Amino acid sequence: MIHSRERALHRSAEIHTVKRDRVLAGAISLAIGFAFVVGVLGIHKWFGLARALITIALAIWIVLSDWSSRKWLGSLSRNARGLLRLGVAALIGVEIGRVVVVISQEGFVTGDAIAIVIDVIVFGYLLQGALVELRWTPGGLLLDAALRARTDDPAKALRLAARTTKLYRKWDEAWLVRAAMVGEQQGPDAQVLVLKKAHRYCPRSIDIMDFLISGLYATGASDEANALLDEYRAMFPRSSRPVLIDAANAITAGDMDTARAHLLEAQGRAEKEGDTEGLVKIARISRLMSEDDGDAGPDALGG
């Protein structure tokens, strides 16, 4: 049974991450509001410099988070993240408008053309990400329809989820929803087949890797799971997720001391990486160890 002190540390880490992200969200909202007003009013000098720095810093932060496969302010709701991203996209839109005004007043130069091309690309990227988070896209509406039909008409829900993944093959969340529905209706073997296909289209999705490796262990494909786990470690060397799988495997083998050591290592990594979902999984496994006296395994990583 994991010590109560360790459980308290897991819970404290979760609360700390949530509070930190909420404070950051409030500060970012104020910064976006300030920068937007300064940009619309056309205030220059120090205020204009502050606006530009805020815009650049937020855009780079979001893009780097996306490229590293880490959710930006991951403990916030999707709607909150979507609205904040939309605000940053609006700041880029203001910057585009400023360049257009400069061109109209002072004439066209090559530097302005380069600046506006870069701004348009970043604006489109941020806007697309915001719409995905807010589910204001055709794919989001389709996936929402699948989730609504999940209870009353499972067959229809699965058809809608499958259609979503055919239209948006690189969307890992849609694949996860489809895999969950297949698991409910057709069993774990069919679910693993869907997750393998999802992994081909989304090879850097941490969540798909988590579910696929857990599913392979659960269906007895240990060799394949071990090979994929090695690939996982190489792809995300600082991530807590492979260590969590090691912990689950140790629990299955009945080696509780090793499992506790892996959980503590995973917690340290998750806190450094700001991996809120990883901390949630750590707490879940810890509770299972406490409540069931070790009756947990790779399946504890799902859900």
- Provide the pLDDT for residue 215: 93
Q: Which of 275, 211, 271, 221 is nearest to 245 (CA)?
A: 211
Domain residue extents for the chain: 4-134, 138-301
What are the CA-CA distances from residue 3 to residues 271, 289, 290, 299 (Å)?
19, 10, 8, 22
**Number of C-beta neighbours around residue 230 at 10 A:** 11
Residues whose CB is less than 8 angstroms from the CB of residue 25 and which lie 6 or more positions away in sequence, other chains included: 73, 76, 80, 84
- What kind of fold does domain 138-301 have according to CATH? 1.25.40
**And the tokens for 264?**
């503590």
pLDDT in tens, 134-161: 878 888 889 999 999 998 999 999 999 9
pTM of the entire predicted model: 0.64
Q: What is the pLDDT of residue 2?
A: 43
Report pLDDT digits (tens) over 210-233: 899 999 998 999 999 999 999 988
Label residue 275 exposed, middle or buried (CB < 10 Å: 0-12, 13-18, 19+): buried
> Contacts for 144-149 with beta carbons within 8 Å, 24 or more apart?
146/177, 146/181, 147/177
Comparison of pLDDT for 7 and 57, the residue scoring more: 57
Confidence (pLDDT) at 3: 47
